[in-house]
Amino acid sequence: MFITQKHLSRRTVLRGLGATVALPFLDAMVPAARAQNKLMAGRKPRLAAIEMVHGAAGSSVEGLEKHYWSPVKEGRDFDFTLSLSPLEPHRDYVTVVSDTDLANAESASAPEVGGDHNRSSSVFLTASRPKRTEGSDIYSGVSMDQIYAQKFGQDTALPSIQLCIENVGSISGACGYGYSCVYSTAISWASATQPFPSERDPRVVFERLFGHGATAAERTTRRRQDLTILDSIRQRVASLQKDLGASDKNRLSEYLENVGEIERRLQNIEKRNLTAADARELPDAPIGVPDSFDEHVRLMFDLQVLAFATEVTRVSSFKLGRDVSARVYPESGVTTPFHACSHHGDKSKNIEDFAKLNRYHVGAVAYFLEKLRNTPDGDGNLLDHSMILYGSPMADGNRHSHKRLPVLLAGHANGALKGNLHLKTPLGTPMANVLLTSLHKLGVNDVERIGDSTGELAI
């Protein structure tokens, strides 16, 4: 291939019954060695925006003093705190931004006081104040993930995907304090009036990624015949591998094994849920949703890794929790329900427990970073070529404060982010400045403002 200047198209897919499987980046997709730099320079970073609700223990008065979230040291080689400790193996990829505020999530009038849970999520990626309405005349802002998707996601099969872990409830109707339910369920907004719902079921996400282009009837036939994705494309894989070099064969085999392994996990979950339906911890959840948070969140992260590796999409948003959730996370070592834990009452033991719960959620993100880092992608790995934004639109959950938010970035975004940095911003700095800076680092340079942003950050 390299001698004759022939190459495999980056958009090559393997089609089978009810399946359309995109390929990861292979050496055979580079027409010649001299074109490698040009090809890689033209590729856009992937973006994953991840929201965890209810803030962090480190944003309380005592949590700030004990540095449960924000490191003591500024600049390079900072210390990893209790809540951030799972990210330490990825130090060179991590940028912690401290002391930013989300003013447009605060109440602006007396009737809004107490409605922070009802509006915060809509502000997370838009930094825009939502219109207080219980009707259909909703209004917020365009979220930064959609600004990026509209600019650099239109040439992919899916311009963006929206995911969640918990049942976020209705996306319409009234949810309290004069707010439509959509404001607490959607973090991704294509326009000020067009929120995107999030998908909770990993089976649905899997079919979107690997059944894209196939008809619903074909996908149904494949599953009724008990055929896996790999079964349906096996002949096409064999044909393709004849023309690949050794490293590409290994890369393709590893990728397909990952696809098959995820499908097996999905099948096992569905069988388990069908046979033990009466004993489910989440009886109202779809059959493809595992009861275990760990199992669920890892599946969703693994699906995002495959989507990024194949560039089926470059953009994802992921809502890890639901406001006012009473879910318990026993693996964290904390048995207090989530919402109650965030309302720590300024008691030291409760604040420490919430910090441990924050650490547990950050640990889920660390799993994602590890998977991205271990996935080859051209001249590096997926974490080199991605930006991950993680944070909460609330700071101190006990007071429903939106000052000194827990926010971090991870990945190198094709070299635009250096990592190994703790930036402590001046008090009152808008969190929107993180969004604006992120867009510029991603190559969206024609956006001068988002929400209440005032300028770029030095990261």
DSSP string computed for 2-43: TTTT----TT-EEEETTEEEE----GGGSSSGGGHHHHHHTP
pLDDT digits 0-9 by tens, 67-89: 999 999 999 989 999 999 999 99
Q: Judge if 19 and 68 occupy the same domain.
A: no
Quick check: is 455 in a domain? Answer: no
Q: Judge if 114 and 227 occupy the same domain.
A: no
Q: What is the mean pLDDT of residues 111-116?
A: 88
Quick check: is 86 in a domain? Answer: yes
- Give yes or no for residue 35 having a pLDDT over 50: yes
| CATH classification at residue 368 | 3.40.720
The per-residue pLDDT of the chain, averaged, comes to 90
Q: Judge if 168 and 297 occupy the same domain.
A: yes
pLDDT at 4: 38
Q: Which two tokens stand for residue 133?
A: 């309405």
Strands (E), 323-406: 376-377, 380-381, 386-391
Quick check: is 114 in a domain? Answer: yes
- Expressed in percent and rounded to 5, the helix, strand and coil fractions of the chain are 40, 15, 45
CA 380 to chain centre: 21
d(CA 47, CA 289): 24
In the chain, % of residues over pLDDT 90: 73
- Could you say which of 283, 306, 326 is where a domain stops? 283
Residue with tokens 């999905």: 266
Quick check: is 10 in a domain? Answer: yes
d(CA 3, CA 218): 39
pLDDT at 119: 92
Q: Judge if 26 and 73 occupy the same domain.
A: no
Q: Judge if 188 and 215 occupy the same domain.
A: no
- Give yes or no for residue 27 having a pLDDT over 90: no
Q: What is the mean pLDDT of residues 407-417?
A: 97
Domain that holds residue 234: 1-41+201-283
Beta bridge partners of 132: none
Quick check: is 92 in a domain? Answer: yes
Q: Judge if 19 and 55 occupy the same domain.
A: no
Q: What is the CA radius of gyration of the chain?
A: 22
- Could you say which of 283, 309, 344 is where a domain stops? 283
- Give yes or no for residue 450 having a pLDDT over 80: yes
Quick check: is 102 in a domain? Answer: yes
Q: Judge if 186 and 332 occupy the same domain.
A: yes
Residue 142 and residue 453 in contact, taking contact as beta carbons nearer than 8 Å = no
d(CA 107, CA 110): 7
- Give yes or no for residue 409 having a pLDDT over 90: yes
How many domains, in total, are found in the chain?
2
Return all residues near 297 (Cβ < 8 A) that are at least 6 apart: 165, 320, 364, 367
- Give yes or no for residue 444 having a pLDDT over 50: yes
Q: What is the mean pLDDT of residues 334-360?
A: 97
Return all residues near 272 (Cβ < 8 A) that are at least 6 apart: none
Q: Judge if 240 and 338 occupy the same domain.
A: no
d(CA 63, CA 236): 56
Q: What is the mean pLDDT of residues 189-193?
A: 97
300 HSE (CA, 13 A, CB side) = 28
- Could you say which of 242, 260, 283 is where a domain stops? 283
Q: Judge if 244 and 190 occupy the same domain.
A: no
Q: Judge if 347 and 316 occupy the same domain.
A: yes
Q: Is 137 exposed, middle or buried (0-12, 13-18, 19+ CB in 10 A)?
A: exposed
Quick check: is 456 in a domain? Answer: no
- Give yes or no for residue 7 having a pLDDT over 50: yes
d(CA 211, CA 216): 9
pLDDT at 434: 98
- Give yes or no for residue 342 having a pLDDT over 70: yes
d(CA 198, CA 164): 6
The residue among 245 and 165 whose pLDDT is bigger is 165
- Give yes or no for residue 32 having a pLDDT over 80: no
Q: Judge if 75 and 140 occupy the same domain.
A: yes
Q: Which two tokens stand for residue 248?
A: 């590409």
Q: What is the mean pLDDT of residues 249-254?
A: 90
- Give yes or no for residue 54 having a pLDDT over 90: yes
pLDDT at 117: 92
- Give yes or no for residue 277 having a pLDDT over 80: no
Quick check: is 124 in a domain? Answer: yes
Question: H or E stretch including 96?
Answer: strand 94-101
Confidence of residue 2 (pLDDT cuts 50, 70, 90): very low
- Give yes or no for residue 212 having a pLDDT over 90: no
Q: Judge if 274 and 312 occupy the same domain.
A: no
